[in-house]
Structure 1
Amino acid sequence: MRRSLALNGALLPVTLVLAGCGLQPLYGGGAGSVAARGLSQIEVGPIAGEAGWLVANSLRDRLGAGGTAASPRYRLDVRLDDQLEGLGLRGDDSIGRERRTLRARYQLVDLASDEIVIDATAGSDAGIDVVSSEYAVIAAERTALERLSTEVADQIVTRVALTLREGR
């Protein structure tokens, strides 16, 4: 009992400090929040390639209405740069490690005025060990691409949600 009171007494100042710092939840209000309503009004334009298919699906999953709004207010245009490069040479001059980099340049376009609301980039990279099994290396490269696609989509949606919440 005494420990519980001490813990509550210690947490009260922390709670008051956090309440006064101006932090607000991005999706405060749930599906009715400004950010969630804005995200559901975005359609995702076509994105070329396998990485494009993965990023587009990840974006649609995160946009609330599946990225196919009935009457979209915005369009999200994305161009990807997917690079796979060899690093670290072994004694026999074979590659021992690879780095996969996925970069996205994206624009959020207001369809009513054709104004570009956001013009930004997102990206991530992953390291891949090159082992003796070619199948294992291909599987690792594929897994890295899937993970990078998810990370890039998360970065894009977060930036777009913040911008829409600010009322731009």
Structure 2
Amino acid sequence: MSLSDRRTVLGLLAAAPLAACGFSPVYAPGGAGDALRGQILVEPPETRNEFLLVTRLEDRLGRAGSPRYALTLDTDVEERGIAVTGSNDITRINLTGTTRFRVVEAGTDVQVHAGSVRTFTAYSTTGSTIATAAAERDAQERLMTALADQIVSNLLASAGRWS
């Protein structure tokens, strides 16, 4: 058996379990990604972090025209110094973000899905005051992007059960 024949056989053997379990790509026509696109209205943001989170969610899920679902968010960000010098100066700050979310039917407010995601990022405080402020804003943006991406992954993975 030639090398290319072996690769073909191994590829078919590797794909067989996926076909048997009903696997289908999320972004395929008719997949969960397609079904949720533009169907979830995200609650309006009130803070800068919420604005960053909602913007990323709408980028990934699309803006809702005639939404079937509404998404409510509750986000907390905890800040903690993780690197301290001998003179007690903090040189690195860790941001830990947690977002609890609920998906409800738009007309009835019946909850169809809920979850929670958590992640972290950090930034350095060793530069000037302006550099530190810029690093903090960048870290907050990275944190909200990561939280939004986790929420979207959760929604897409579970959409077959509730959408």
Same fold (TM over 0.5): yes
Counterpart residue number, 1:5: 5
* 2:49 is equivalent to residue 54 of structure 1: no
Structure 1 CA distance, aligned partners of 2:102 and 2:5? Answer: 52
Map residues 32-43 of structure 1 onto 2, 5 A cutoff: 32-43=30-41
**1:27 aligns to what?**
27
The 5 A counterparts of 1:98-109 are: 98-109=93-104
* Aligned twin of 1:45: 43
> Unaligned stretches of 5+ in structure 2?
none
Q: Would you say how many aligned residue pairs link Structure 1 and Structure 2?
A: 163
Q: Quick one: structure 1 residues 138 and 11, their matched pair in 2 at CA, closer, same or farther if it must change by over 3 Å?
A: same
Tell me the alpha carbon deviations over residues 35-93 of structure 1, each in whole angstroms, 9 at most, x when there is no partner: 422342111111221100100100111113x2xx2321211111211222212210111
Distance 2:86 2:32 in 1: 57
**Distance change (3 Å), C-alpha of 1:11 and 1:41:** closer
Q: Deviations over 1:8-50 (max 9, x none)?
A: 3433322334433443222232xx4344223421111112211
Instruction: Please name the residue that 1:149 is paired with.
Output: 144
Structure 1 outlier segments of 4+, above 6 Å:
none
Coordinate RMSD, CA, aligned: 2.2
- Alignment match, 1:90: 85
Identity, % of aligned positions: 31
Deviates more, 1:108-117 or 1:8-17: 8-17
Alignment partner of 1:76 is 2:71: yes
TM-score by length of 2: 0.86
Task: Give the partner amino acid of 1:138.
Answer: A
Q: In the alignment, is the contact (CA less than 8 A) between 2:38 and 2:61 conserved in 1? A: yes
| One-letter amino acid of the structure 1 residue matched with residue 35 of structure 2 | R
| Structure 1: distance between partners of 2:156 and 2:5 | 39
Structure 1 segments unaligned to the other structure (5+ residues)? none
Q: Which of 112, 115, 128 is equivalent to 2:107?
A: 112
